[in-house]
Amino acid sequence: MHCFTFVAVSILVFTFTLSASDALTTNMTKNLKVLVSSNDFAESGIKILEEHFTVVKSRYFGFNEEGLNENMQELMNLIPGCSALIWISHHPITKELLDKAGPQLKIVATASAGYNNCNVPELKARGIKLSNTPNVLSAAVAEIAVSLMIGAARRFTENLDQVKRGEWEGIGFQNMLGQDLRDSTIGIVGFGGIGQATAKRLVGFEVGKFLYSGHRERPEAKNFGAELVPLDTLLSQSDFILLSAPLTDETRHMINKTSLAKMKKNAIIVNVGRGDLINQDDLYDALKNKQIYAAGLDVTTPEPLPKDNKLLTLPNCFILPHIGSATVRTRNDMAELAAKNVVNALYGRALISPVLP
């Protein structure tokens, strides 16, 4: 009993000491500035940052033309003297912006899983830490991946057009027939968090088998009976091909005229990774000529896709406006993780999700 009391008191004293130390440190860090690069960052992330630092937020949207013009100029004005940058944008971080920041910039925390627009070589050369927000968005993106598979396989683009025109061709017994997920072969390029979360959701659709490609075997693949195969094998055997790989020099335009020619005629390709994983001109030709069955895209190049883009003329291409992680819960989780990475970096602690630790 006495031993238990001693341990309990010790824990309380230790907890109090840590809390008092953190409070003292927080008072000392209030003079550190954190720049939030877009006016739509979730409030839950802002609150975490404001507990520790002075938060400076852009008045402008970090995306589209506004992100490239008004917002970028605003950031150039606000970033001098900042110790951290929360990056919410599909535009790249420029060398000029980092020059404006000055040497006290310690971390860039991107509120996304992908970080191909974060100028990694430049950050590394300057000794600036980089974090991202993987895993917290896997479930939401997986839901969109499955939605795109269904949408492309069941010809949503054509069928929605029928509803708008009031001409329901699908009423006929042999009209507007689609493809089944049941008993199909699913090939996943990028069997990380999103790829695995998608496989988990597809199990309930009674798919036939899973294939995946990559540089190494994934222990988690055993949970799905998924088989590691060369990319060419995956392309030639899969009914559905999911791209959930990061964009790198190796993966850029990995889907092109040559790789499309290896796919089945009934193949459906789905992209939830980055637009530049696919050469869109080659994809257009393959879809137009019915070389493959259909495509479902949540990411494109550029974003937004211009309304006169030729992919939008195809009945067998189902496109969404990059909404993979767009749920209230997921965007809050992403904002909070980005904010916590900043807190850890500026307190000298290890990053939670490091890219450049």
The model's pLDDT over 86-132, given as tens digits with 9 standing for 90+, comes to 999 999 999 999 999 999 999 999 999 999 999 999 999 999 999 99
Residue 277 in tokens: 């994983």
Give the DSSP per-residue string, 43-74: HHHHHHHHTTSEEEE-SS-SSHHHHHTHHHHH
For 269, list phi and psi in degrees, rounded to 5: -105, 135
Domain 138-319 has CATH 3.40.50.720: yes
| Pairwise CA distance, residues 310 & 308, whole Å | 6
What is the side-by-side strand order in the sheet with 354-356?
Answer: 54-57, 33-36, 82-87, 107-110, 129-131, 354-356
Return the biggest CA–CA distance within the chain: 82
Which pairing describes strands 107-110 and 54-57: parallel, antiparallel, or unpaired?
A: unpaired
- The count of residues in the chain is 357
Task: Give pLDDT tens digits for 338-356.
Answer: 999 999 999 999 999 999 9
Q: Where are the domains of the chain?
A: 31-134+329-356, 138-319
Residue 173 to residues 63, 167, 169, 176, Cα–Cα distance (Å): 45, 15, 9, 9
pLDDT of residue 15: 33
Domains 31-134+329-356 and 138-319 share a fold: yes
pLDDT of residue 6: 34
pLDDT of residue 30: 92
Q: Where are the alpha helices (DSSP H) in the chain?
A: 2-29, 43-50, 64-68, 70-78, 95-101, 120-126, 138-153, 156-165, 193-202, 231-237, 257-260, 280-288, 328-346
- Return the half-sphere exposure (C-beta side, CA atoms, 13 A cut-off) of residue 187: 21
Are 45 and 338 in contact by the 8 Å Cβ rule? The answer is yes
3-state helix, strand, coil split of the chain in percent (to 5) is 45, 15, 40
pLDDT of residue 143: 98
pLDDT of residue 23: 52
Q: Which parts of the chain register pLDDT below 70?
A: 1-27
Q: Which sign does the torsion angle of CA 292, 295, 300, 305 carry?
A: positive
pLDDT of residue 13: 32
For 110, list phi and psi in degrees, rounded to 5: -90, 135
- The domain made up of 31-134+329-356 has a fold known as Rossmann fold (3.40.50)
Are 296 and 268 in contact by the 8 Å Cβ rule? The answer is yes
| Pairwise CA distance, residues 40 & 125, whole Å | 30
* Spatial CA neighbour of 134 closest among 115, 147, 108: 115
Are 191 and 212 in contact by the 8 Å Cβ rule? The answer is yes
Instruction: Please list the active-site residues.
Output: 322
